[in-house]
Amino acid sequence: MPKPVKISVHKIVDLILRSGDIDSRFGDSSAMYKGAAAHRKLQKGEGYKKEVALKFETEIDGIAVVIQGRADGIIHGATEGISPGAIIIDEIKTTTLPLDYLFNQHLQHLAQAKCYACMYLHSLENPLFNTLPEQITIRLTYFQLDTEEIRRHEFPFTADEVRAFFADLLEKYGIWLRFERDWKAQRDASCVAAEFPFPWRKGQREFAALAYRAISAQKKLYVAAPTGIGKTLSALFPAVKAIGKCEKIFYLTAKTITRTVAEDALKHLTTRGLRFKSITLRAKDKICPAHREGQACTPDSCPNARGHFDRINDALWDLLNAVDLITPAEVAEFAQKHSVCPHEFALDAALHCDLIIGDYNHVFDPSVYLRRFFNTSGDYVFLIDEAHNLADRVRDMYTATLSKGAFGGIFRRLKDKNPEAAALRKISRKINTFMADLRTDIPAENPALLEENDPALLALAENFFRTAGEWLKIHAGHEMYSEILNLYFDANMYMLISELYDQHFTTLTETRGSDVLISLFCLDPSGVIAAGLSRGISAILFSATLTPLDYYREILGGTPDDTAIALPSPFDPSRLKIVIRRDISAKYAHREQSYVPIAEAIHAAVAEKPGNYLAFFPSYDYMNKVSAIFYENYPTVKTLVQTSDMTEDERADFLARFSADNTEALVGFTVLGGIFSEGIDLTGDRLIGAIIVSAGIPKISMRSDKIRDYFNRKNGRGYDFAYVFPGMNKVLQAAGRVIRTETDEGIVLLLDSRFATEKYRQMFPAHWV
């Protein structure tokens, strides 16, 4: 007998009863971390039961369902001002917006509370109660977080009225429930029958088996899977097979191209009989033309925003019944057909999909993660591709920075004569002055003056956020709107990170000319990564360069109990030649003496075997100095030089020069960690060699030094965590450009004496023989 379907009251009400416009002027993100405290403040009084869990078991069209919810408050019985036996269901909403705006949404709030009322009445239907009340009161309690103003609205209903409302709501929800049931039956049967679409490669079956076991056991798995194993299918296939053990699969990556690889992998599985609904999410500015053109998400500015929620369910029904593998192109097509916002449309469609392909920020970013999934944990599986990028990405997500110059620009240039502008100028000037005073106190030998989260600056940021929010609501077309909106988000992020601030963070004060930057800097992202992964039941983190494994397991939120494994390369190791030049030092202190020897070493390599080579350097300055010498000394060798501001077309032209039929020597001078050292496929003779200059050690900086000091305290490996391991990852990524298929042959030339030391050789992949 199938298990009952569990549904939340929120899910039913939000799907069936939503209506009206999208209006970004009324975002309320600051309420996220204040709302819980406000609820506790209001949930008091004699006879007041707070956070009452409710459950209602029934059948909808023959489908057993368990409807769950949690009422903010229930008052039942003789209480001051309330007649004996009366029932009040209290629904609390908090906001930083005007309370009138909340009341504009009261019909949806009322519907939610009426569901709780019916469920509570049902719980009373037992022999302990002789009679049930004929009337029940819904109270909507609205609380303004900034002013602490409270408004209460009461609506009396009979017991029969709330029961009739609830029954009608469930009947309307039935069409979606039947769709979901019928789809899952097809999907589950196809998952059982689905076969791997290709012959298994070396290491691929082992990867898939490990992933399946990790998902089944609800564990994390860290895999260093060299190029050629077929990482995407190795992770996706076992996750599909385990769909009965999980609710949804999230395939997360840092790059658009890798998302396309995931789409292609799923298409291959569908050729073997799989039925699976997937959607690829993109950033708002990528999927929404109106947003790209600078239009605000308001009913006045965008016709798709006007009445969006009146049309969205028809759009969803149309899309979900027409397409299984939903790409951004399909989202755009159906959004245009139904005149809905493509960004919000895609997020809603994701709720009905089995696989969501997206960016790391959809799970980890504290300001934009998918709250519709992750406000509570679920039976989700996370497949995290190119996981070596995750730590730095999350560190950036959890670092908040305020700039003196940005606030100074507002109070100097906002000249409008109205109360909102005057208030915004005043608070901007206060913040500018606060940060200017800091600048005069910053000693040159220790620019990281603030070691703790400063409560005075936090109070100023909160004041700015409130004031800017009021200004933004009524000045959508202003020439400074985008500038002030960006600073509004910066202030909000500063407030959010302040709430999370602990020993994993530090405060940095930096000067850049006349500007001052104050950052709440994330030193150690492992805790917030672990928190993000805890939103699901299992995570498979994989990359070709997850080396050394113990470092990545620690920095990516793992524990020693989590399995971490390095798989062998599926390629013949004899096809890759590794050469180390022990006589060349690329350390910073020796660089000036290394320019000519490096140029000579590059020429010797390309002269011995002409063809296409990429030479990778730790900085543009180093690259430019060596490339100039190389060009002067060897003018007959064709060269290309990467620039820091290359357009998409210029990058494409650069790569197009690496043709398979080139028989002459061609050297592309590039930077480690740049656009040509990761995510490009120059197969066969398009690239026969990578020449890597230096061990990739990042430039010494205050931020890296703070990371070093933190990990020295934590595990005694500060320099390795801050400099050595991130540098080596860049080296491995660059080296990985050479052998992309089983027929490729090539050379990796390592120009730095450090590569000959035991410390570095221990970090070499097993196939570097």
pLDDT digit string (tens) for 520-570? 999 999 999 999 999 999 999 999 999 999 999 999 999 999 999 999 999
74 within 8 A of 49, measured Cβ to Cβ: yes
Residues facing residue 89 across a β-bridge: 74, 138
Tokens encoding 337: 């057909």
CB proximity list for 227: less than 8 A, separation 6 or greater: 544, 569, 571, 736, 739, 740
Q: Which residue type is seen at 304? A: N
How long a stretch of residues is the chain? 769
Question: How far apart (Å, rounded) are the C-alpha atoms in residues 20 and 736?
Answer: 52
Give the pLDDT mean for 622-628.
Answer: 98
Q: Tokens 């949930």 map to which residue?
A: 43
User: Residue 140: beta bridge partners?
Assistant: 91, 153
Nearest to 281, CA basis, from 239, 248, 321: 248
Q: What is the pLDDT of residues 213-258, one digit of tens each?
A: 999 999 999 999 999 999 999 999 999 999 988 999 999 998 877 8
Amino acid at 54: L
The sheet carrying 400-403 orders its strands as 400-403, 515-522, 505-512
Is the pLDDT assigned to residue 755 strictly greater than 90? yes
| Element (DSSP H or E) covering residue 427 | helix 419-441
SS3 311: helix
Q: What integer is the mean pLDDT of 270-284?
A: 94
Whether pLDDT at 76 is above 80: no
Residue 20 has pLDDT above 80, yes or no: yes
> What pLDDT was estimated at residue 192?
94
Mean pLDDT in residue range 690-695: 97
Question: What local confidence, expressed as pLDDT, does residue 398 receive?
Answer: 98
Return the structure tokens found at 145. 């977080």
**pLDDT score for 627:** 98
Share of the chain above pLDDT 90, in %: 74
* CA–CA separation, 190 and 587 (whole Å): 57
| pLDDT recorded at residue 441 | 66
- Amino acid letter, 376: T
In 3D space, the residue among 326, 321, 322, 364 whose CA is nearest the CA of residue 345 turns out to be: 326
Residue 27's pLDDT band (boundaries 50, 70, 90)?
Answer: low
Mean pLDDT score, 620-647: 96
SS (H, E, C) 543-557: ECCCCCHHHHHHHCC
Q: Residue 30 above 50 pLDDT? A: no
* Contact by Cβ (8 Å): 351, 7: no
Dump pLDDT digits (tens) for 167-189.
Answer: 999 999 999 999 999 999 999 99
What is the distance between the alpha carbons of residues 225 and 211, in angstroms, rounded to a whole number?
12
Per-residue pLDDT tens for 650-676? 999 999 999 999 999 999 999 999 999
CA distance 526 to 623: 34
What whole-number distance in Å separates Cα of residue 503 and Cα of residue 726?
22
Q: Which pLDDT score, from 0 to 100, does residue 679 have?
A: 79
- Pairing of β 576-580 and β 746-751: parallel
- 468 — pLDDT class (breaks 50, 70, 90): very high
Helix, strand, or coil here: 5? Answer: strand
Q: What pLDDT is stored for residue 125 in this prediction?
A: 66
Helix (H) or strand (E) holding 74: strand 63-76
Q: What is the pLDDT of residue 129?
A: 42
pLDDT in tens, 725-743: 999 999 999 999 999 888 9
SS3 letters across 753-768: HHHHCHHHHCCCCCCC
Average pLDDT of the segment spanning 575-590: 95
pLDDT of 241: 96
Strands (E), 468-618: 505-512, 515-522, 538-543, 563-566, 576-580, 612-617
**At what angle are helices 106-123 and 9-16 packed, to 10 degrees?**
140
Q: Which residue shows structure tokens 């269901």?
A: 89
Distance between CA atoms of residues 666 and 613, nearest Å: 6
| pLDDT tens per residue across span 299-318 | 878 889 899 999 999 999 99
**149: exposed, middle or buried (Cβ count in 10 Å: 0-12, 13-18, 19+):** exposed
Q: Among positive and negative, which fits the CA dihedral 33, 34, 39, 40?
A: positive
Q: Give the closest residue to 316 by CA, choosing from 344, 288, 287, 293.
A: 344
Q: Kindly report, residue by residue over 450-463, the tens digit of the pLDDT.
A: 557 789 999 999 99
The lowest-confidence range among 466-475, 599-608, 686-695 is 466-475
* pLDDT 10s digits, 122-149: 887 654 444 566 789 999 999 988 788 8
